Amino acid sequence: MKDFSGKIAFITGGASGAGLGQAKLFGGLGAKVTIVDIRQEALDKALAELKSLGIDALGIQMDLTNREQYIAAADKAEAHWGGPPQLLIQTAGVNTFGPAEASTFEDFDWVLGVNLFGVINGMVIFVPRMIKAYNKVNGTINQEGAHIAIVSSLGAFSGFATDAPYSCSKAAVNNLAYSYYEALKPYGIGVTVQCPANINSNIGEAILTRPAHLANTGYHVSEGTINMLKSIHATGMDPVELAKNLKAAIENELPLAIPYDNAEEMLQREFRKVIQYLTVEGMREQEEEKRKIAEEMKGFLQTDTSVVSGPIEPFGQAKSDLEWILPEKRK
**What's the angle, vertex CA 198, arms to CA 115 and CA 311, rounded to 5?**
95
Q: Strand, coil or helix: what is 318?
A: strand
Longest dimension (CA), the chain: 63
Cα four-point dihedral sign 144, 148, 151, 156: negative
12, amino acid identity: T
Catalytic residue, candidates 166, 181, 187, 219 = 166
Q: Strand, coil or helix: what is 311?
A: coil
Q: Strand, coil or helix: what is 193?
A: strand
Cβ-contact 87, 147 below 8 angstroms: yes
Q: Please give the Cα distance from 282 to 295 (Å, whole number).
A: 20
| 166 in catalytic set | yes
Cβ-contact 195, 154 below 8 angstroms: yes
Q: Strand, coil or helix: what is 233?
A: helix
Cβ-contact 43, 153 below 8 angstroms: no
Q: Strand, coil or helix: what is 35?
A: strand
Q: Which backbone phi and psi does 37 adopt, to 5 degrees?
A: -160, 160
User: Which residues are known catalytic residues?
Assistant: 166
